[in-house]
Structure 1
Amino acid sequence: MTKDKNTEEQILSAAKNIFQSKGMNGARMQEIADKAGINKAMLHYYYRSKQLLFEAVFKNAFSLLAPQLNVILNDDSSIEEKIKKFTSNYITFIIKHPYLPSFIIQELNRNPDFILKLKENKGFPNLDKFKIQVAQEIEKGIIKPISAAQLFINIMALNIFPFVAKPLIMAFTDTDDTTYKQLMEDRKIEVSNFIINSIKNV
Structure 2
Amino acid sequence: MTTEEKIFNAAKIVFHKKGYAGARMQEIADEAGINKAMLHYCFKNKQVLFEAVFKKAFHQLAPKINQIFQSDSSLFEKIKEFTNSYISFVIDNPYLPAFIIQEMNNNPEFVVSFLNDEKRPNPNLLIAQIEREIELGNIKAIKPKQLLLNIFSLTVFPFAAQVLVKGILHLTDDEFNQMMEERKTSIAQQIINSIKK
TM-score after normalising by structure 2: 0.96
- Between the two proteins, the alignment pairs up a number of residues equal to 197
- The answer for the alignment partner of 1:79 in structure 2 is 75
Q: What is the Cα deviation at residue 190 of structure 1?
A: 1.1
Q: What is the Cα deviation at residue 41 of structure 1?
A: 1.1
Q: What is the Cα deviation at residue 122 of structure 1?
A: 4.2
Q: Deviations over 1:64-95 (max 9, x none)?
A: 11110111011111211111000001111111
Q: Deviations over 1:15-59 (max 9, x none)?
A: 111011001111111111111111111111100110000001111
Identity %, equivalent residues: 52
Distance in 2 between the 1:77 and 1:53 partners? 37
What secondary structure does 1:113 align onto? helix
- The answer for the alignment partner of 1:29 in structure 2 is 25
Distance in 1 between the 2:120 and 2:111 partners? 10
Q: What is the Cα deviation at residue 119 of structure 1?
A: 3.1
2:183 is the alignment partner of 1:187: yes
- The answer for the alignment partner of 1:124 in structure 2 is 120
Q: Deviations over 1:131-152 (max 9, x none)?
A: 1111100001111111111111
What are the ranges of 5 or more consecutive residues in structure 1 without an aligned counterpart? Answer: none
Distance in 1 between the 2:7 and 2:195 partners? 45
Q: What is the Cα deviation at residue 121 of structure 1?
A: 3.3
Q: What is the Cα deviation at residue 177 of structure 1?
A: 1.1
- The answer for the alignment partner of 1:45 in structure 2 is 41
Deviates further, 22-31 or 169-178: 169-178
Q: Deviations over 1:150-172 (max 9, x none)?
A: 11111100000011111111112
1:143 to 139, 144, 157: 139
TM-score after normalising by structure 1: 0.94
What secondary structure does 2:119 align onto? coil
2:162 is the alignment partner of 1:166: yes
**Which letter maps to 2:129?**
Q
2:6 to 7, 10, 24: 10
What are the ranges of 5 or more consecutive residues in structure 2 without an aligned counterpart? Answer: none
Distance in 2 between the 1:34 and 1:184 partners? 31
Distance in 2 between the 1:78 and 1:115 partners? 31
Distance in 2 between the 1:92 and 1:24 partners? 20
